[in-house]
Structure 1
Amino acid sequence: MTQPNTHDVLVIGAGIVGISTALALQSQGRRVTVWDRKGVAQEASKGNAGAFAFAEVEPLAAPGIMMKAPKWLLDPLGPLSVPPRYALKIAPWMLRFWRASWRDRYDAAVQAQVNLMNHCEAAFERQLAQDGDPSHIRREGQLSVYQGDTQFRSALPALKRRQDLGIEVTLLEGAGAIAEIQPGLSADFTRGAFTPGWFNANDPALWAEHLAHRFVEKGGVVEIKSVSNLKNRDAYIELEGDFGATSASHVVICAGAWSHHLSAALGDKLPLETERGYNTTLPTQSVDLRTHVTFGAHGFVMSKIGDGIRVGGAVELGGLDLPPNYKRSEILLKKAKAFFPDLETNNGTQWMGFRPSMPDSLPVIGSSPKARRVTYAFGHGHLGLTQSAGTAELVASLVQGEAPAIDLSPYRPSRF
């Protein structure tokens, strides 16, 4: 028989959200153990672009986006696609996605994202001061570029919205103005927008590993274990998996794209889907990449990662089981070569990762409606790194029974 409270707080998931949450709980005096089926930063936290994108407040489900849906099925290599064999399975999620794109829901989601981002940016600075190392962070801004006025006009409402929210964004006109910030780009890019407050991790995996090291240094435990089932008991949560059975006073689920399997075990059926992101990491910086460059109309970015350059992005809503389609990586790399003619594209390493996505682009942060000793912290989409420190503080408040720093109703598990 499982003994109650074998663990104080058990965090499931050792990605950047899980590790940050463990640190935040540890700072509150809790005894914290982190379990992950593969180890620290072995999924989406390993292969992302490294951006702390606090300016990204627009949900993927934007007004009018469903008019593009037929093109997604016809262009499997486009920046936003649904594989035909997954279309029927994802239909219920797409219906919620469509409803989230209505103006009333969209405006509310933007405001919720703004509130969360403001909190997360301040929380990151606190995390950096307490447990971070500034050498892991590059504060070089972000440049969005557009091939002519048509692409620029399409992006202008979102850019103006950011300016209205107090985010510093400088609009650029002419290839010369763009080259002053980022030389080497094709002269086809004649309009741009520069966000100087944007910053990046030198390597997102190393950043997560650094925080995990700090957690362990202070007495925390990280173990490779896989949880397959949870059971709600009056005084504890019982867990089953490859370790047999154990229990915890409190469980935090930060398992990324796999989190809904665990929530379902408790009776919480949450509409979590997977944005499958693709990239190629080139071993050297063959072009002088001075900032994080976003090609919005083409759905990908370029960023410095360690000594190399990472080219990646796009959204493939294809679940967890379909095999990777690395043609998506290849087409992004070909575009990057066309846009940066001097870019050397040999010997790159391809990667595909699962980004956990909710229909309204907002994460799930809150207590399980079915189990008060379980807290959810997942569904951040492509903003997990950005929102990790802020989510961690909010979760720590919930576990401690304290009032969170912001209203969590927009992110509550029961909103669907």
Structure 2
Amino acid sequence: MTCVHLETDLPAGPNDVIVVGAGIVGLATAQKLIEAGRQVTLIDRKGIAEETSRGNAAAFAFSDILPLASKGMLAKVPGWLMDPLGPLSIPPAYFPRILPWLIRFWRAGWPDRTASSIAAQTALMQLARAEMAMMVEAAGLTAMVRHDGSLELYESDAELAAAEPGWRARAEAGIGFEHLRGERLAELQPGLSPQIVAGTFVPQWQSVEEPYQFALALAQHVKARGARLLRAEAAAVRPRESGVQVVLADGRSLDAVAAVIAGGAWSHRLTEPLGDRIPLETERGYNTTLPPGAFDVKRQLIFGGHGFVITPLATGLRVGGAVELGGLDLDANFARADAMLKKAARFLPGLRIEGGTQWMGFRPSLPDSLPAIGASRASDRIVYAFGHGHLGLTQSAATGRLVADLVCARTPAIDIAPFNPQRF
């Protein structure tokens, strides 16, 4: 297993660019900044990829261009909310707090908003595909990436028909896919339950063999290229006349030319004192990683009607997903992971569900399913890079490229207006 040492002593002298957050978005941002000729100091309170990036679903979901608040999704929400263990849940005690976010989420699902969201997401995904390929090659991570596509599965013709508008939108964006049944379906994934009547194969979908190891290997690469890796908690990021200051929780501080806030679901704690009240919520995602040999899954399987995926990893089989909008402080409800595992066993008869390891991660989510990428209102030397929901791994390299463009005063690779942190 790759091991990356983090320092605790502050680097001597001024810094160039400080990246707050050493998850996959922060690491990719560091890599792109280094490629642009900048010197980077990465700081994280826990270590490399110790939060959401540690146990994600391992996908490069370049075809996932539909906002969560699409018309089809909104129609399912009332029924899902009636099931506390369903694909989308909100703990009752948290509902009053999240109500303003839900209103924005509902508005994001109107046709005038979804069309622009899909266009922005499509542009970001196209950039993500190109930038990820370059980053993977530059960091020597090619052997960790799988190119075997994904398979979305349906229990009825009605479920497939309901998904058709989304597939038409993908076709308009140039995304290839194949609807399939019978022998072709069994060829791509043997052993499915007869409950599964159809599927959609997306060949351009990719995955990594183990996301935590992928992040650690990327950290090793940026460290070898000169990045400083520091274990510390950022308590505040403040503009200064000649740059920025990052104040640490222990009272120490770091001065730099620029800073990037890539702290995932915790980022709003640093942005609010800067005058940016960004409606960042937390999708609490659960999974269970089963031991190797639990089932011979050929590629990532997506059960959209139930909100979970099954991913084959080098370390086993990961069953997880769903959305629990519950913030950062409530206790984990691992009954949600158990419920997904039971459903997986129903759809994959013979799945061995013993011996798994459960996990929960905090996905940083904005109402329109687009990340916040852009400058703080307090200073253009402070750049935001968070709010990717369940697409952080997928969009990490594209985000890093756009942040590097902003920090280096270059014209961004794509129009970043849709990702403006102040759009709300």
User: Kindly tell me: are residues 87 and 5 of structure 1, through their superposed partners in 2, closer, same or farther at Cα, counting changes over 3 Å?
Assistant: farther
Letter in 2 for 1:283: P
1:5–1:236 Cα contact (<8 Å) kept: no
Q: Determine the structure 1 residue equivalent to 2:215.
A: 208
SS at match of 2:169: helix
Measured in 2, the distance between the counterparts of 1:247 and 1:120 equals 31
Distance, in Å, in 2 between the alignment partners of 1:165 and 1:10 is: 36
State percent identity of aligned pairs.
Answer: 48
Q: Secondary structure at the match of 2:394?
A: helix
Paired residue for 1:136, among 144, 148, 151?
144
CA distance in 1, matches of 2:289, 2:352: 11
Listed as ranges, the matches of 1:269-288 within 5 Å are 269-288=277-296
SS in 2 for 1:183: coil
Amino acid at match of 2:333: N
Q: Does 1:233 align with 2:240?
A: yes
For the structure 1 residues 249 and 379, does the alpha-carbon distance in structure 2 shift closer, same or farther, using more than 3 Å as the test? Answer: same
Please give the alpha-carbon distance, in whole angstroms, between the structure 2 residues aligned to 1:69 and 1:190: 24
1:82 pairs, out of 83, 87, 90, with 90
**RMSD value, Cα:** 1.6
Unaligned ranges ≥5, structure 2? 1-11
Does the aligned pair in 1 maintain the 2:24–2:396 contact within 8 Å? yes
What is the correspondence of 1:404-415 to structure 2 with a 5 Å cutoff? 404-415=412-423
Match of 2:272 among 264, 275, 278: 264
List per-residue Cα deviations over 1:394-413 (Å, max 9, x = no partner).
Answer: 10010000101100000011
Match of 2:119, SS state, is: helix
Aligned to 2:114: 106
Q: 1:199 aligns with which of 200, 206, 220?
A: 206
Look up the match of 1:177: 184
What corresponds to 2:303 in structure 1? 295
The total of aligned residue pairs comes to: 414
Instruction: Give the drift of 1:72.
Output: 4.4
| Matched-pair contact (CA < 8 Å) for 2:179–2:199 | yes
Does 2:361 align with 1:353?
yes
Distance, in Å, in 2 between the alignment partners of 1:102 and 1:132 is: 43
For 2:71, what is the secondary structure of its paired residue? coil
Is this contact kept in 2: 1:64–1:101, CA < 8 A? Answer: no
Q: Distance in 1 between matches of 2:75 and 2:27?
A: 39
| Aligned with 2:153 (options 145, 150, 169) | 145
Give CA deviations for 1:208-253 in whole Å, capped at 9, x if unaligned.
Answer: 1111000111111111100111222211212222342222210000
Match of 1:388 in 2: 396
Could you tell me whether the CA contact under 8 Å between 1:143 and 1:192 is conserved in 2?
Answer: yes
In the alignment, the residues of structure 1 paired with residue 109 and residue 117 of structure 2 have an alpha-carbon distance, to the nearest angstrom, of 9
Q: Secondary structure at the match of 1:401?
A: coil
For the residues of structure 1 that align with 2:315 and 2:26, how far apart are their CA atoms?
27
Alignment-mate amino acid for residue 337 of structure 1 = A
Amino acid at match of 1:190: V
**1:328 is matched with which residue: 336, 339, 346?**
336
Following the alignment from structure 1 to structure 2, what is the Cα–Cα distance between the partners of residues 360 and 181?
33
Structure 2 counterpart of 1:39: 47
Report the Cα offset of residue 68 of structure 1. 4.3
Calculate the TM-score normalised by the size of structure 2.
0.95
Deviates more, 1:404-413 or 1:71-80: 71-80
Query: Equivalent residue for 2:66?
Result: 58
Structure 1 segments, 4+ long, off by >2 Å, are 63-74
CA distance in 1, matches of 2:185, 2:323: 27
The answer (yes or no) to whether the contact 1:58–1:110 under 8 Å persists in 2 is yes
1:198 Cα deviation after fit: 0.9
CA shift, 1:67, in A, is 4.8
Once the two structures are TM-superposed, the CA of residue 118 in structure 1 deviates from its matched residue by: 0.5
State the TM-score, normalized to the length of structure 1.
0.97
Shift of 1:84: 0.8
Q: Aligned letter for 1:181?
A: L
**How far has the Cα of 1:65 moved from its partner?**
4.3
CA distance in 2, matches of 1:142, 1:330: 23
Amino acid aligned to 1:375: V
Partner of 1:397: 405
Amino acid at match of 2:327: G
Aligned equivalents of 2:122, 2:81: Cα separation in 1: 32
**Residues 5 and 249 of structure 1 are in contact (CA less than 8 Å); yes or no, is this contact kept in structure 2?**
no
Which one-letter code corresponds to 2:192 in the other structure? L
1:29-62 deviations in Å (ceiling 9; x for gaps): 2111000011111111111110000000000011
Residue identity in the other structure for 2:59: A
Unpaired runs of 5+ in structure 1?
A: none
1:317 paired residue number: 325
Which position in structure 2 is the counterpart of 1:217?
224
Q: 1:252 to 1:115 in 2, by over 3 A?
A: same
For residue 63 of structure 1, report the CA deviation from its aligned partner.
2.2
Distance 2:173 2:248 in 1: 46
Does residue 376 (structure 1) correspond to residue 388 (structure 2)? The answer is: no
Higher mean alpha-carbon deviation, 294-303 vs 222-231, is at 222-231
Tell whether the 8 Å contact from 1:280 to 1:333 is kept in structure 2 after alignment. yes
